[in-house]
């Protein structure tokens, strides 16, 4: 890692001059927090790829191992290698082996949603499969020898089982035996499909991945976002019509619209725009509007994003989670690197100051995932610190010069 200035906490920098993205003290703080997170989550590994969810102290929480946990850790430690954190190589090896041995359905194809000494949830979920693709792409870019095998396997499953050519989108949940496809259709899995396909394009150079990401963006960003006042509907019927009444899992499929996804989409839109050669003149403006509307409607007076809005743009669920703040940081940093956002610097600083004050665990590492109404860590929706992926990217994305090819950018940063 490059030699840098002493890290200065975001709250201590609030009155500093100049752009934070270029400030060496801010970059030092980002790098310090990224390394602290990567070290904390090394404790997830419990042998032969078994990854445990950790409590706030770093102790294992008993429970099944979910597909998105395995794959996000592979992806995160692949980013960590590019960042210069070599200690994560064992995490990637263990995760890749476990993914192939335990999550993968060797008989019927696809990947089980959760396992623990056998299959505990055999559903074949598009959401989880998108993270398999992301993990394979990131591991390939990091040079893992098994990445091509995994990438080819999951790409074939996505093409054969999940892709709806007529809609230009991915369908959602299959039964374990592939005999029953749910009638539910969702935006979230397609958003992560966009993320994973962009990463796969970067890892392989195969343009089909980029084109498929573009088709998804055409639906949700070019067509639906303007139609719904830049608040993208989450849920759809079997015929891909908006289902306003749907309410499912309170975390993954809440009713209404999700501001955190708006800002996540903004970053992905700029990622796609950059990889396409910046020829899509409408997309930077779309990214900016998505972020501005999410901040205007959902940023709470005391800080943090309200989790959901109703279809009139009013707050539905006030709960404050870590990941929308992380995605807001990533999106605003991308806009600041590429375009105009009148209050972008102000908002970038505000989000980081809030995160450092309320979400970042500077003593142990990792971010608290949920806050109560007083701004203290809570255990309502989540137990412990369930995820490295969102918060690590909040640290790493601002360190790089570009808005695409993150692993290339991190390698450039680490060797500067």
Residues with active-site annotation: 261, 390
Tokens, residue 53: 């969810």
* Closest C-alpha among 127, 71, 80 to residue 99: 71
| DSSP calls for 78-116 | HHHHHHT-GGGHHHHHHHHHHIIIIIB-TTT-SB-SEES
Return all residues near 23 (Cβ < 8 A) that are at least 6 apart.
13, 16
The burial of 92, by beta-carbon neighbours within 10 Å (0-12 exposed, 13-18 middle, 19 or more buried), is given as buried
C-alpha 358/C-alpha 373 separation (Å) is: 12
3-state secondary structure of 299: strand
Q: Where are the alpha helices (DSSP H) in 158-245?
A: 187-204, 207-217, 225-227
Tokens, residue 209: 């991945």
DSSP 360: B
Return all residues near 301 (Cβ < 8 A) that are at least 6 apart.
none
Return all residues near 249 (Cβ < 8 A) that are at least 6 apart.
none
Residue 170 forms beta bridges with which residues?
163
C-alpha 385/C-alpha 368 separation (Å) is: 6
Return all residues near 264 (Cβ < 8 A) that are at least 6 apart.
191, 327, 330, 331
Asked whether the beta carbons of 188 and 252 are under 8 A apart, the reply is: yes
Asked whether the beta carbons of 329 and 398 are under 8 A apart, the reply is: yes
C-alpha 55/C-alpha 200 separation (Å) is: 32
Tokens, residue 80: 């960590």
Backbone φ and ψ of 174, nearest 5°: -110, 155
C-alpha 272/C-alpha 207 separation (Å) is: 12
Question: Do the strands 65-66 and 114-115 form a parallel or antiparallel pair, or are they unpaired?
Answer: antiparallel
Tokens, residue 85: 């954190």
């Amino acid at each position: 890692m490059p030699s840098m200035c002493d890290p200065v906490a975001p709250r201590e920098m609030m009155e500093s001059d100049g752009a934070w993205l270029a400030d060496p003290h801010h970059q030092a703080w980002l790098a310090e927090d990224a390394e602290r997170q990567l070290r904390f989550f090394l404790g997830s590994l419990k042998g032969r790829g078994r990854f445990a969810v950790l409590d706030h102290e770093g102790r294992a929480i008993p429970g099944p191992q979910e597909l998105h946990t395995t794959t996000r850790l592979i992806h995160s430690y692949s980013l960590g290698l590019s960042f210069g954190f070599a200690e994560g190589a064992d995490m990637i090896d263990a995760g890749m082996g476990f993914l192939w041995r335990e999550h993968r359905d060797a008989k019927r194809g696809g990947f089980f949603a959760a396992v623990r000494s056998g299959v505990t949830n055999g559903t074949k979920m598009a959401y989880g499969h998108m993270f398999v693709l992301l993990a394979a792409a990131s591991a390939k870019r990091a040079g893992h020898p098994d990445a091509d095998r995994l990438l080819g396997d999951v790409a074939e499953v996505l093409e054969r089982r999940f892709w709806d050519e007529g809609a230009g989108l991915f369908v959602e949940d299959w039964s374990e035996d592939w005999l029953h496809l749910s009638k539910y259709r969702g935006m979230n899995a397609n958003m992560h499909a966009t993320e994973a396909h962009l990463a796969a394009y970067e890892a392989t150079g195969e343009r089909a991945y980029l084109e498929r990401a573009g088709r998804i963006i055409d639906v949700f960003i070019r067509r639906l976002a303007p139609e719904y006042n830049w608040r993208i509907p989450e849920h759809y019927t079997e015929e891909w019509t908006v289902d306003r009444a749907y309410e499912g899992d309170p975390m993954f499929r809440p009713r209404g619209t999700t501001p955190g996804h708006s800002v996540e989409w903004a970053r992905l839109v700029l990622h796609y725009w950059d990889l396409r050669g910046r020829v899509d003149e409408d997309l930077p403006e779309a990214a900016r509007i998505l972020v501005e509307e999410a901040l205007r409607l959902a940023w709470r007076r005391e800080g943090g994003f309200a989790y959901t809005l109703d279809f009139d743009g009013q707050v539905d669920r006030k709960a404050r989670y870590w990941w929308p703040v992380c995605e807001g940081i990533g999106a605003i940093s991308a806009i600041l690197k590429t375009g105009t956002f009148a209050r972008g610097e102000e908002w970038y600083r505000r989000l980081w100051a809030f995160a450092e004050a309320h979400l970042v665990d500077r003593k142990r590492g990792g971010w608290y995932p949920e806050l109560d109404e007083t701004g203290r860590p809570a255990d309502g929706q989540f137990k412990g610190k369930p995820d490295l992926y969102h918060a690590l990217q909040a640290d790493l994305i601002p360190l790089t010069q570009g808005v695409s090819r993150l692993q290339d950018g991190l390698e450039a940063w680490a060797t500067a």
